[in-house]
């Protein structure tokens, strides 16, 4: 199976949160696809953050596209020049005030949605976190921090209080990581 060729690209917009590109592509058999929209984003990072007491740290905020409040794990985009580890440590500190002396454990690196967008999300597990600093939010961010026991999370998922895919996905990866760590 072969890749397509891009014959022409034009930008609809560029913003700090992402760019929208419209491509004209040629398939390997010569057919032309006119108008494939590509959403360009920087890579994202997120983390399951466990406190020293073994609780899991969630953030709650209003998400305009889905028009509701969402419980999620801390997350954000990588800034220019940052490693994924640096980005997640910064995001967790800014959104929640939690920091840890332990190095983040990488759970995996995945293309978010390669049919529509360009970027990956890199998921981490951060353990032994403590809330030692103040939240530092962007001008339009309003974020509440909530702590739950680890064994309450599956009830939140089945009860649909936790309904954002990235958060659920990272939780299951972390759970799998704990099981493997216990088995060893």
Distance (Å, rounded) from C-alpha 29 to C-alpha 155?
50
What minimum distance in Å lies between the beta carbon of 180 and its own copies? 10
Distance (Å, rounded) from C-alpha 171 to C-alpha 155?
13
Closer by beta carbon to its own copies, 100 or else 124: 124
Closer by beta carbon to its own copies, 113 or else 149: 113
What minimum distance in Å lies between the beta carbon of 129 and its own copies? 23
Closer by beta carbon to its own copies, 93 or else 120: 120
**Alpha carbon distances (Å) from 123 to 15, 52, 70, 74:** 24, 20, 19, 10
Closer by beta carbon to its own copies, 22 or else 90: 22
Which residues of this chain interact with its own copies, rule CB under 8 A?
1-4, 6, 12-13, 15, 17-18, 20, 23, 25, 27, 31, 33, 35-39, 60-70, 108-118, 120-121, 140, 142, 144, 157, 160, 163-166, 168-169, 172-173, 175-176
What minimum distance in Å lies between the beta carbon of 184 and its own copies? 15
Tokens 């596209």 correspond to what residue? 65
Strands 44-51 and 75-77 come out as antiparallel
Closer by beta carbon to its own copies, 67 or else 182: 67
What minimum distance in Å lies between the beta carbon of 3 and its own copies? 6
What minimum distance in Å lies between the beta carbon of 152 and its own copies? 16
Residues of 79-107 as b/e, b for ≥16 C-beta within 10 angstroms?
eeebebbebbbbbbbbbbbbbbeeebbbb
Question: Taking the CA of residue 81 as centre, how many other CA atoms within 13 Å lie in the half-sphere pointing to its CB?
Answer: 0
């Amino acid at each position: 199976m072969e890749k397509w060729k891009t014959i022409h690209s034009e930008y609809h917009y560029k913003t700090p949160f992402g760019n929208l590109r419209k491509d004209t592509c040629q398939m390997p058999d010569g057919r032309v696809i006119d108008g494939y929209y590509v959403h360009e984003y920087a890579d994202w990072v997120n983390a399951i953050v466990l406190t020293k007491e073994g609780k899991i740290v969630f953030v709650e905020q209003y998400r305009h596209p889905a028009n509701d409040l969402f419980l999620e794990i801390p997350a954000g985009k990588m800034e220019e020049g940052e490693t994924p580890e640096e980005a997640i440590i910064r995001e967790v500190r800014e959104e929640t005030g939690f920091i840890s002396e332990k190095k983040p454990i990488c759970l995996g690196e995945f293309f978010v949605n390669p049919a529509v967008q360009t970027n990956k999300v890199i998921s981490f597990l951060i353990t032994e976190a403590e809330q030692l600093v103040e939240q530092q939010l962007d001008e339009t961010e309003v974020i509440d921090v909530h702590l739950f026991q680890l064994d309450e999370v599956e009830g939140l998922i089945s009860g649909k209080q936790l309904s954002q895919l990235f958060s659920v996905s990272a939780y299951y990866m972390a759970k799998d990581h704990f099981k493997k760590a216990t088995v060893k």
